[in-house]
Amino acid sequence: MSVHQPAEDTQPEGAQIEEEARGAAFRHGPDGGLLNLGEAVRDAAVAAAIAFILAGPFIGLYTAIAGGRLTMTSRPWGIAILVGVVFVGRLAINLLWRPVGPTIRERIGALFAARPSGALAGRGVAILSAVAIAAAVLLPFTPFGTREILDQGIKILIFTMIGWGLNVVVGLAGLLDLGYIAFFAFGAYSFALLNAYFDLGFWTCLPLAGLISAFAGILLGFPVLRLRGDYLAVVTLAFGEIIHLVLQNWDEFTGGPQGLRGIPAPTLFGIPFARGEGGFADRFGLEYTPVQRIIFLYYVILLLALITSAVTMRLRKLPIGQAWEAMREDEIACRSLGINTTMTKLTAFGIGAMFAGFAGAFFATRQGFISPESFISQDSFMFVAFVVLGGLGSQVGVVLAVAFITIITDLQQLQLYRMLIVGLSMVLIMVWRPRGLITTRRPTVRLPLPRPSTSPARA
């Protein structure tokens, strides 16, 4: 009797007994009884919906050859019968059988609730990234490895690398940098000019371009040390404009609006990707195709991007990365804990700029031609959008945002409307997910403790 809810106490004696009998017969009790009718129907509906999603494309659609062309036809009755069978079957099981396990909804719920929130999301993100990296590595050898798709892939990877680099500055250190394009330009022009004046190759210039950009980043860091938020954004924006104007107007040195051409492509340990004797195809006894050069470029940028990501993730766990994040959270608290915020800011600017420099050098070698028009402030805003839409500090989020924006921007079918769609989707993402697509932040330290509440923690 004591198990009754207070509401049931107001009912007459007979109703109570009835309620008890019904409970024994239908309730899905703690020891796993039968479901009541409403729950059984709902469970069956969920099962039917899952059947529809899983089997829909396989049974509902089929292809046929009609008039020498492949056409797709739908089979609505087939899928209706299938879903109906699943629904009735599940309902019968729920009502007549004694369900041993939990309902489907409970199972789906358990998938997400069993672990502390974030742990599963973290694992999901880890699996997603592993699959994505494997797919990216294998892409050139699949039927999708066409020239167009690889070109698109290279573009996405360049932007991804920039996004990851900017993530250090904006996402981790919390310094809103609207002039990031300047460091990209520094990298590109460093390589192009070193090549033009000293005839150095890509692999020699790559580290130099990174160093020069990092130096430029630190140089920008000094005047803005005391600025934060809006004020910092304005100054960095101006910095980006200044660099653009210098490149545009310093004709004798940078070539002005004509830009620099004839930037050489990278070589594989000195082997060029060219037709004829001594080229890659010739050395390895392959038939020459221009795609080989594209594939090589693709792997170079993939490697550079992955290095960027790996270095960033490693830095996050080191004291310097911890200081970046702590500074993003509260600068005064940082100083009260003995963290030198000057050094912390300069390293964030420097390392972020270095990655942009690498990406810039690669951009120059891939294009073979650079001009100030490639480095306008509008692209800076796009870079910030990658980081903010992806989720501040999230590596995977940046990739998703970059892929999404780049693909939409390049879809020729959308013609005039594509920028409209990009803008609209940005607004929508910010409305629905105001902190970006991926908001889980993986802690940098975690203790292997199942239940730390009873005793003082041990490592």
Partner 1 sequence: MSALLEVEGVETFYGKIQALRGVDLTVERGEIVALIGSNGAGKSTLMMTICGNPPARTGRIRFDGIDITRMRTHDIMRLSISQAPEGRRIFPRMTVLENLQVGAASIGYQHFDEDRDRMFALFPILARRQSQRGGTLSGGEQQMLAIARALMSRPRLLMLDEPSLGLAPLIVRQIFEALGALNKEGLTIFLVEQNAYHALKLAHRAYVMVNGRIAMSGAGRELLAREDVRSAYLHAGR
Residue 74, judged by CB atoms within 10 A of its CB (0-12, 13-18, 19+), counts as exposed
Interface map 423-452 toward partner 1 (x if CB under 8 A): ------------------x-xxxxx-x--x
To partner 1, the closest distance from the beta carbon of 330 in angstroms equals 5
Closest-CA residue to 381 (of 178, 182, 174, 166):
178
To partner 1, the closest distance from the beta carbon of 322 in angstroms equals 5
With binding defined as CB under 8 A, does residue 329 bind partner 1? yes
Residue 459, judged by CB atoms within 10 A of its CB (0-12, 13-18, 19+), counts as exposed
Cβ 119 vs Cβ 128: under 8 Å: no
Per-residue CA distances from 247 to 34, 104, 360, 418 (Å): 76, 62, 14, 30
In the numeric block, the tokens 């009735």 are attached to 88
Closest-CA residue to 178 (of 123, 233, 104, 251):
233
* Whole-angstrom distance, CA of residue 171 vs CA of residue 440: 13
Q: With respect to partner 1, which residue has the nearer C-beta, 10 or 336?
A: 336
Closest-CA residue to 310 (of 151, 144, 158, 161):
161
With binding defined as CB under 8 A, does residue 458 bind partner 1? yes
3-state secondary structure of 260: strand
Dihedral over Cα of 249, 253, 258, 261: its sign: negative
* Whole-angstrom distance, CA of residue 310 vs CA of residue 395: 10
* Residue in 337, 407, 411, 421 binding partner 1, rule: CB under 8 A: 337
With binding defined as CB under 8 A, does residue 356 bind partner 1? no
Integer-rounded Cα radius of gyration of the chain: 30
With binding defined as CB under 8 A, does residue 334 bind partner 1? yes
With binding defined as CB under 8 A, does residue 251 bind partner 1? no
| Window contacting partner 1 (CB under 8 A); options: 69-77, 78-86, 321-329, 396-404 | 321-329
With binding defined as CB under 8 A, does residue 228 bind partner 1? no
Q: With respect to partner 1, which residue has the nearer C-beta, 259 or 393?
A: 393
Question: And the tokens for 318?
Answer: 């080191």
Q: With respect to partner 1, which residue has the nearer C-beta, 127 or 337?
A: 337
Q: How many residues bind partner 1 (CB under 8 A)?
A: 31
* Whole-angstrom distance, CA of residue 324 vs CA of residue 321: 5
To partner 1, the closest distance from the beta carbon of 226 in angstroms equals 12
Cβ 191 vs Cβ 365: under 8 Å: yes
With binding defined as CB under 8 A, does residue 225 bind partner 1? no
* Whole-angstrom distance, CA of residue 154 vs CA of residue 79: 41
List phi, psi (to 5°) of 27.
Answer: -65, 145
Site for partner 1 in 84-123 (CB under 8 A): 116
* Residue in 322, 367, 409, 425 binding partner 1, rule: CB under 8 A: 322
| Window contacting partner 1 (CB under 8 A); options: 30-38, 97-105, 328-336, 355-363 | 328-336
To partner 1, the closest distance from the beta carbon of 440 in angstroms equals 11
With binding defined as CB under 8 A, does residue 323 bind partner 1? yes
Q: With respect to partner 1, which residue has the nearer C-beta, 240 or 397?
A: 397
* Whole-angstrom distance, CA of residue 287 vs CA of residue 240: 45
To partner 1, the closest distance from the beta carbon of 264 in angstroms equals 45
Q: With respect to partner 1, which residue has the nearer C-beta, 407 or 447?
A: 447
With binding defined as CB under 8 A, does residue 456 bind partner 1? yes
How would you classify residue 277: left for phi > 0, otherwise alpha for psi between -120 and 50, otherwise beta? Answer: beta
* Residue in 54, 80, 138, 333 binding partner 1, rule: CB under 8 A: 333
* Residue in 319, 369, 419, 420 binding partner 1, rule: CB under 8 A: 319
To partner 1, the closest distance from the beta carbon of 325 in angstroms equals 6
- Do β-strands 369-370 and 260-261 pair in parallel, antiparallel, or remain unpaired? antiparallel
| Window contacting partner 1 (CB under 8 A); options: 239-247, 260-268, 323-331, 403-411 | 323-331
Q: With respect to partner 1, which residue has the nearer C-beta, 69 or 451?
A: 451
To partner 1, the closest distance from the beta carbon of 220 in angstroms equals 22
| Window contacting partner 1 (CB under 8 A); options: 51-59, 184-192, 315-323, 367-375 | 315-323
* Residue in 27, 42, 105, 335 binding partner 1, rule: CB under 8 A: 335
To partner 1, the closest distance from the beta carbon of 447 in angstroms equals 6
3-state secondary structure of 24: helix
| Window contacting partner 1 (CB under 8 A); options: 184-192, 280-288, 302-310, 316-324 | 316-324
The distance in angstroms from the start CA to the end CA of the chain is 48
List phi, psi (to 5°) of 66.
Answer: -125, 120
* Residue in 5, 10, 336, 413 binding partner 1, rule: CB under 8 A: 336
Closest-CA residue to 40 (of 88, 1, 109):
88
Q: Write out the residues near partner 1 by the rule CB under 8 A.
A: 116, 319, 322-323, 325-326, 329-330, 332-341, 441, 443-447, 449, 452-453, 456-459
